[in-house]
Structure 1
Amino acid sequence: MNKPFSSIEILGIPFANTTRDQFVNQLQKRINHHENTFVVTANPEIVMYAQKEPNYQKLILTADYISPDGIGIVRASHTLKTPLSERIPGYDIFMDLLNWASQNQKKVYFLGAKPQVIQQLKLKLTKDFPGLKLVGAHDGYFKSETEIVATIEKQQPDIIFVATGFPNQEKFIASNRHLTKGLWMGVGGSFDVFVGAVKRAPKWWQTHHLEWFYRLVTDPRRLKRQLIIPQFMWKIHQLKK
């Protein structure tokens, strides 16, 4: 199945140039057609890491789709005069797919986060998405992939969400995506947000594209990570010259 939308390249990373609804719709089609699919949700931090780590960049370029997760990516596209349609946050894709999976009795596997978060996740999924077929869930603190990989191969989930953070989640997906004909997607801290262990920015902050600032205010430990954004934008402005 051909890609129904174009892509726009930013620092060597091709981002899907489409709307959230169209993007999610395409993923649903591929799941229904049993097409193996690898999705990366990339923000400026991931793009900058890929700049420093050629092997990681090579790896994420094997993805079928890379979504612009982060207002910095969208702003960069406008600066470069190749504007993306809109930001497509990974958490929103995650929630859209959970809802759809519940409505269509799809099989889903979850990997990542702390043990207590995974326990809360299983309870909340049962309550909020009763139609979803939970075929496995494992925390991100494992020494061996053997049991996890064996379960995924046996259960053949339609969707595998991996929330172990970059670059580990993408490495895990790239190594194991051949095991199923389903969709594999790295979702960072989405499990924590879903169960309420980490609070997502309120709607006003989201609407005004200030989620990054909200996260910084509520968790000052993120300062070092957030400093990547001005570095990213500086690099973009250098390209513009």
Structure 2
Amino acid sequence: MGIPFANATQQQFVRQLQKRIVAQQNTFVVTANPEIVMYAAQNQKYRDIVLTADYISADGIGIVQAAKTLHTPLPERVTGYETFASLMSWSESQSRKIYFLGAKPAVIAALTKKVATQYPHIQVVGAQDGYFNDDTKVAKTIQESQPDIVFVATGFPRQEQFIAQHRQLTNGLWMGVGGSFDVFVGAVKRAPEFWQKHHLEWFYRLLTDPKRLKRQLVIPKFMWAIHKLKK
């Protein structure tokens, strides 16, 4: 569907990002699931933003299955949360500077508290919840603090729009991570290992949060779009 996904394993992907952080290379990462791909197909402005990313990772088994169906297979899914978690552990060992942006005020407060305890060597140079109307102050803080990594958890399309507009403020990694902050602090539970192994995380999330039904309806639409491409 015109979205160029990174052809890498989770481990290879994280290592490449680490190299770019060390080299101070400005990097924009989009973690794309079927919902993002479908939104990009319907919104040209958002699609254009996604295509400016340095890497687009296959954040969902639906993407991996679609790639296989279209005879352009990917090694495995590369989830946004696992990439986030790996980079957090690595940043602890490297004493990297991180700016956290997004989620609810209570979540961002819990996140900074947990990072201080679990990752004491990470330099948190900023932590702002997602409830802001003016980008200017946030952008200024990022520019002044020069973080190695900016994690943006405001959900698509807002997080990608913000990154595309401000990524040149610092020569670091800019990555949209959706609900990763909520999972990290325990505000949202990730699917148990059984559901993950059987690629049913989406179904687990639907069972535990029925309000997601409207969003999940995009999956059959995505599958149908892939089916038509196969023909």
Would you say same fold, with TM above 0.5?
A: yes
CA distance in 1 between counterparts of 2:58 and 2:168 reads 25
1:105-144 aligned within 5 A:
105-144=95-134
Which letter does structure 2 place at the counterpart of 1:222? R
Residue of structure 2 equivalent to 1:88: 78
Are 1:57 and 2:43 counterparts? no
Match of 1:214 in 2: 204
1:101 aligns with 2:94: no
Amino acid at match of 1:167: P
* TM-score, structure 2 normalization: 0.99
Write the deviation string for residues 132-176 of structure 1: whole angstroms up to 9, x where unpaired. 110000000012112211110001000000000000000000000
**Percentage identity across paired residues of the two chains:** 65
Residue 56 of structure 1 aligns with an amino acid whose one-letter code is: Y
Deviation at 1:127, TM superposition (A): 1.1
Which amino acid in the other structure matches residue 181 of structure 2?
F
5+ long unaligned stretches in structure 2 = none
Whole-angstrom CA distance in 1 between matches of 2:70 and 2:221: 16
| 1:14 and 2:14 are equivalent in the alignment | no
Describe the SS at the equivalent of 2:124.
Answer: strand
**Structure 1 unaligned blocks of 5 or more:** 1-10
Give the ranges of 4+ consecutive aligned residues of structure 1 lying more than 4 Å apart after TM superposition. none
Paired positions, count: 231
Output one character per residue of 1:99-140: Cα deviation in whole Å (capped at 9) or x when no partner.
Answer: 000110000000000001011000000111111110000000
**1:45 and 2:35 matched:** yes
Residue 155 of structure 2 aligns with which residue? Answer: 165
Paired position in structure 2 for 1:240: 230
Distance 1:61 1:194 in 2: 28
Matched residue SS, 2:162: helix
User: Is 1:180 matched up with 2:165?
Assistant: no
Which of these residues, 119, 122, 142, is aligned with residue 152 of structure 1?
142
- Read off the aligned partner of 1:151 and give its amino acid letter: T
Q: CA deviation at 1:217?
A: 0.3
Q: Deviations over 1:191-230 (max 9, x none)?
A: 0010000010011111110000000000000001111011
Distance 2:133 2:74 in 1: 40
State how far apart, in whole Å, the 1-side matches of 2:90 and 2:202 are: 28
Residues 40-92 of structure 1 show CA distances to partners (whole Å, capped at 9, x for unaligned) of 00000000000100111011100000000010000001111111110000000
TM-score (norm 1): 0.95
SS of match in other structure, 1:57: helix
Aligned match of 2:192: 202
